[in-house]
Structure 1
Amino acid sequence: MLLSFGLVAQAAAQSKPGEILLLGTFHYHNPGADLVKTKTFDVMTPKVQAELENITQKISVFHPDKIFVEWDWENQKELDELYKAYLGGNYEQYVSTTYPKLSSRSYYLKNEIIQLAFRAGKKAKLTRIYAFDYPKVALNFDSVMKAMQTAKQTALMQRVQDVTKNIETRENQKLATYSLTQLLLDANMPANLTANKGLYLDILNQAGNPDNFAGPFLVSEWYRRNLYMYSLVQKTMTPQDSKALVLVGSGHAAIIKEFIEAGQQFRLKSLKDVLK
């Protein structure tokens, strides 16, 4: 068995690794579902739309063979229909007809999958955008806070509040003053991706008494979600594919970056090099 694993590792090392442009972002259509609550950034203004044209043009020059987005992988068919309408030039009409509810239409018009990934895919002449989210995990934050309360971890509970409040303040200030390009470059700085994991590993993983594992269970579920997502990238990329764009929320990017760097299948392409 060890010999088999060794041969696999040797074969992987001998093949040329593909390039992944890992692009972590805030959610353009902000549903307020994340632990850290941030203000909405209007991507529909002429200035931001012009930026998106520039950003996606540069991504198309990188020429990804595949683009992966944070969309439930079991709903690939719906994503295919949306992208088909986008390529056909009747996207807004399709969305208005298919999703008559105003809040749904807003999501399908504003979110980063459409605004960035679809736009980049069309420029790169790609016929499909790939869903790779795996949302079937148990992320029960309330149970973690209850475990802290039961264990009388007052200082740890205060750290959760302080850290989330500081992140909210900092991110809201950036959303109010940065351009979209600046926001994306800032979110993908190595230091910021590393800091993104701190709340999980430095704080939530400690939650509860020694016989209560609510904290590490939540952290493991977060890692599992991202590990399954990365597995879909690994299994979908073929030997003929040399490049991919992986577009996800910044929290996902922080973990997926670990997986890419730990293996030999891919190497990371710097966003700042693509957008320079």
Structure 2
Amino acid sequence: MKHLLLLISGLLLGLGATAQSKPAELLLLGTFHFHNPGADIVKTKTFDVMAAKPQAELEAITDNIKAFQPKKIFVEWSYDAQPELDELYQAYLGGKFEGYVKGKYPAKSQNFYLRNEIFQLAFRAGKKAGLPRIHALDYTRTAFPFDSVQKAMQAARQEDLQKQMNDLFQAITAEQNQKLETLTLTQLLLDFNSPQSLAINKGSYLELFNRAGSPDNFAGAYLVSEWYRRNLYMYALVQKLTAPTDDRVLVLVGAGHAAMMREFVQSDKRFKLREPKDVLKK
């Protein structure tokens, strides 16, 4: 048994050395949702990504991503709906995207397909980079029992914790609304990926949600664990679908996902993080 353990340890060290010799560059770009579905806890104003200035910025941003030369682009689309994403991307490559969307989807859902960052940013970058496919990585079969956490805090009489949460959400909402009104699209993306913004995003789960509930009620920790699980599953798809020949990849996800995945990438010797500020500002 001792010799077997030594052999396994040696193999793992060898694998680590191999992975470490040629890590793929991973550009992890966190963003707000351009179409603003109002599905997040923090409710913010809508940024008009279709206006002339953001559209010009998107051209510059995607030119810089093309220069980064990603071999694959991953987006926040359900992984088991890859065929639908493929159809949309093929329509985009053929210059028929808007007509395809308006012909296939009801009017009430067209805002998503025309404005979301997947189509406005990832599809645009993928076409410029000559990529045949955009890869889906989202996994949604997890829970986010926010109501249960609220009830657990009430039952445990955690009024101070509840106030801390409410104060944080209000402060973030006010700050993000102010930025959405004053910053350019490029500035917004850089801000969402700043160390401070990423730390606040991730810290709220560990510092606040994880404490929710009485000592024998783990509603808060369960919510946090489910959030970790969703992001781990998403990152697993990046790991599985990145081939040894893919020396550069782009992962475009909501800023909350980026805050979590950053830790995963930093612990994975197969990848080397590229900072958005080093790519978008060229």
How high is the TM-score relative to the length of structure 2?
Answer: 0.95
Match of 1:10 in 2: 14
92 and 5 in structure 1: CA distance in 2 versus 1, 3 angstrom threshold: farther
* SS in structure 2 at match of 1:268: strand
Asked if 1:144 is matched to 2:121, the reply is no
What residue in structure 1 maps to residue 37 of structure 2? 31
In 1: Cα distance, 2:189 partner to 2:170 partner: 21
Residue 115 of structure 1, aligned match among 113, 120, 130: 120
Structure 1 residue 162: Cα displacement: 0.3
Query: 1:267 is paired with a residue of what secondary structure?
Result: strand
| 1:204 counterpart (205, 209, 214) | 209
Name 1:188's counterpart in structure 2: 193
Q: CA deviation at 1:11?
A: 1.5
Q: Which runs of 5+ in 2 are unaligned?
A: none
Find the partner of 2:77 among 71, 84, 94. Answer: 71
Instruction: Give the aligned length.
Output: 275
Q: Aligned residue for 1:157?
A: 162
CA distance, structure 1, for counterparts of residue 12 and residue 101 of structure 2: 46
Residues 202-238 of structure 1, C-alpha deviations (whole Å, 9 max, x = no match):
0010011100010000000000000000000000001
Q: Report the secondary structure of 1:239's partner residue.
A: coil
For the residue of structure 1 that corresponds to 2:29, the secondary structure is strand
How much has 1:263 moved relative to structure 2?
A: 1.7
Q: Could you say if the C-alpha distance between residues 144 and 108 of structure 1 is closer, same or farther in structure 2, counting changes exceeding 3 Å?
A: same
Structural mapping, 1:165-180, within 5 Å: 165-180=170-185
TM-score (norm. length: structure 1): 0.98
Over 3 Å counting, the alpha-carbon distance change for 1:5 and 1:235 in structure 2 is farther
Q: CA deviation at 1:5?
A: 5.0
5+ residue gaps, structure 1: none
| Displacement after TM superposition at 1:13 (Å) | 2.6
> Partner of 2:67 in structure 1?
61
Letter in 2 for 1:11: L
Stretches (4+) displaced over 4 A: none
Q: Assess, with a 3 A threshold, how the Cα gap between structure 1 residues 5 and 111 changes in structure 2: closer, same or farther.
A: farther
Shift in Å, 1:198: 1.6
CA 1:9/1:257 → structure 2, altered by over 3 Å: closer, same or farther? farther
Corresponding position of 1:83: 89
Distance in structure 1 (CA, Å) of the matches to 2:199 and 2:23: 24
Whichever residue aligns with residue 219 of structure 2, its letter is: A
Residue pairs, 1:246-265, within 5 angstroms:
246-265=251-270
Q: CA deviation at 1:14?
A: 2.6
1:271 paired with 2:270, answer: no
SS across alignment from 2:189: helix
Letter in 1 for 2:229: R
1:2 CA displacement: 4.5
Alignment partner, residue 105 of structure 1: 110
Post-superposition shift, 1:102?
1.7
Q: Measure, in 1, the Cα distance between the counterparts of 2:220 and 2:276.
A: 33
